[in-house]
Amino acid sequence: MTNKRELFQIMTRRFGLLNKNCCSVGGHDLSAAQSHILYEIDRAEAPSMQQVAESLGTDITTFSRQIQSLVKMELIEKSPSPADRRVSLLSLTTTGKFVAATIDTQMNGYLDEVFSYLTPFERETVLRSIDLLNGAMAKSDRCCAPIRDDQAEDTTPNDPE
Amino acid sequence: MTNKRELFQIMTRRFGLLNKNCCSVGGHDLSAAQSHILYEIDRAEAPSMQQVAESLGTDITTFSRQIQSLVKMELIEKSPSPADRRVSLLSLTTTGKFVAATIDTQMNGYLDEVFSYLTPFERETVLRSIDLLNGAMAKSDRCCAPIRDDQAEDTTPNDPE
DNA sequence: AAAATAACTTGCATAATGCAAATAAATAGT
DNA sequence: ACTATTTATTTGCATTATGCAAGTTATTTT
């Protein structure tokens, strides 16, 4: 209660568990990482590989392979950008959209159950708080953004851009 | 804003990034998983392997190896339980305690920075909300607890025990 | 048009994962 | 007391994930 870190440690652990083998839809069994990828592609407008890898904080080579397997699963399509043929634009296939929507429903179901233990007022408050928190994290540059290098206690003001 | 899942997706992603290469202390470079293990051992009173593995939702064989490497790093000690010699009780070494404390400080530092973008009232609200959320997740059995098997839509009542 | 840069992919080499089987200690059944 | 079962943890693979260095193809610089 007193300690911020304690609260967040517990929370992230629980969410980690929730996400563990996050979603099986039909025959497909997706990992949390894969679900995040689908989510992000759905959200953005035909993003490039780099864009998605960057916003998920995944190494581009790892991401390349993650995409390869999602393409093989026929959830994602890659098409060369007309503007720059080095770039691959990502989009969800029809199946991919369906899977993404189903996961969304599932997750909302889980969350509804969790929220059922709260009063309507508490629900409201919690949702608003998460929103505030997301906003605050977005503003922070010390954390929560893709970190390139070490962030040792010495706090060298390195700027990786 | 409207969609619970959306809020939580963003939040978990950001925390994932924050935790990524979560903590380097002195020469030690810890993963998020390792930091969670230290945290849990510090928190509990000489827990057994199974207890910690269970509460972290980690497969016991994977956990066994994670512990092996933390022992090799001299952050953790294993001692056979006097009551039952099959059981290994886990504890932090002096170095382990120091590392755990340092990580705690680091994380609180990050969180302080994030919270600096909120008003004092918002901070209060957010902390209280996380606490509420943790409580609600603890009550839920559909999620957030170690999940043994699939939770497909078909909901076959299989019992793997 | 050659040189530098950029977006992505592939080659390793390493680390993490988890099921099945092994080991070792405790408990049950007789 | 003595074998049989269960329990706690470890090891043997076999699979998958990771990321750096180097490669490929396309674009931009000069």
Flag whether the pTM goes above 0.95: no
**Does residue A160 carry a pLDDT above 60?**
no
A:53-92 Cβ neighbours of strand C under 7 Å: 60-61, 64-65, 67-68, 78, 84, 86-88
Residue pair B56/B70 in contact (Cβ under 8 Å)? The answer is no
Asked whether residue B4 is assigned to any structural domain, the reply reads no
Residue pair A95/A74 in contact (Cβ under 8 Å)? The answer is yes
Minimal C-alpha gap between A137 and chain B (Å): 6
B5-34 confidence digits (pLDDT tens): 999 989 988 888 887 767 888 778 899 899
A93-123 confidence digits (pLDDT tens): 999 999 999 999 988 998 999 999 999 999 9
For residues B119 and B123, what is the distance between their CA atoms, to the nearest angstrom? 6
Q: What is the Cα gyration radius of chain B?
A: 18
Residue A152: C-alpha distances to residues A5, A11, B24, B114 (Å)? 18, 25, 7, 18
What is the residue-wise DSSP string for A117-142?
TS-HHHHHHHHHHHHHHHHHHHH-SS
Asked whether residue B25 is assigned to any structural domain, the reply reads yes
B31-54 confidence digits (pLDDT tens): 989 999 999 999 998 999 999 999
Q: What's the pLDDT at B112?
A: 93
B85-127 confidence digits (pLDDT tens): 999 999 999 999 999 999 999 899 989 999 999 999 999 999 9
Residue pair B17/A144 in contact (Cβ under 8 Å)? The answer is yes
Asked whether residue A38 is assigned to any structural domain, the reply reads yes
Asked whether residue A144 is assigned to any structural domain, the reply reads no
Considering only CA atoms, which of B35, B63, B62, A89 is closest in space to residue B52?
A: B63
Which band of pLDDT confidence, cut at 50, 70 and 90, is reported for residue B142? low
Across A4-8, average pLDDT: 91
**Does residue B144 carry a pLDDT above 60?**
no
For residues A49 and B152, what is the distance between their CA atoms, to the nearest angstrom? 30
Residue pair B35/A28 in contact (Cβ under 8 Å)? The answer is no
Query: Which of B7, B56, B108 faces A134 most closely, judged by CB atoms?
Result: B7
Q: Do A17 and B145 touch (CB under 8 A)?
A: yes
Q: How many separate domains does chain B show?
A: 1
Could you tell me the residue range of the domain that residue B125 belongs to?
18-139
Which CATH number characterizes residue A31's domain? 1.10.10.10
Asked whether residue A149 is assigned to any structural domain, the reply reads no
**Does residue B145 carry a pLDDT above 70?**
no
Across A20-34, average pLDDT: 83
Asked whether residue A22 is assigned to any structural domain, the reply reads yes
Q: Copy the structure tokens of residue B63.
A: 């956990």
Q: Half-sphere exposure (CA, 13 Å, Cβ side) for A136? A: 21
A43-100 confidence digits (pLDDT tens): 998 999 999 999 999 999 999 999 999 999 999 999 999 999 999 999 999 999 999 9
Residue pair B57/A17 in contact (Cβ under 8 Å)? The answer is yes
Asked whether residue A7 is assigned to any structural domain, the reply reads no
Q: Is B66 left (phi over 0), alpha (psi -120 to 50) or beta?
A: alpha
Considering only CA atoms, which of B160, B133, B56 is closest in space to residue A20?
A: B56
* Greatest alpha-carbon span in chain A: 54
Asked whether residue A107 is assigned to any structural domain, the reply reads yes
Task: Spell out residues with C-beta < 7 A from strand D.
Answer: A 31, 33, 58-59, 61-62, 65-66, 69, 84-86; B 48-50, 60-61, 64-65, 67-68, 78, 84, 86-88
**β-bridge partners, B91:** B77
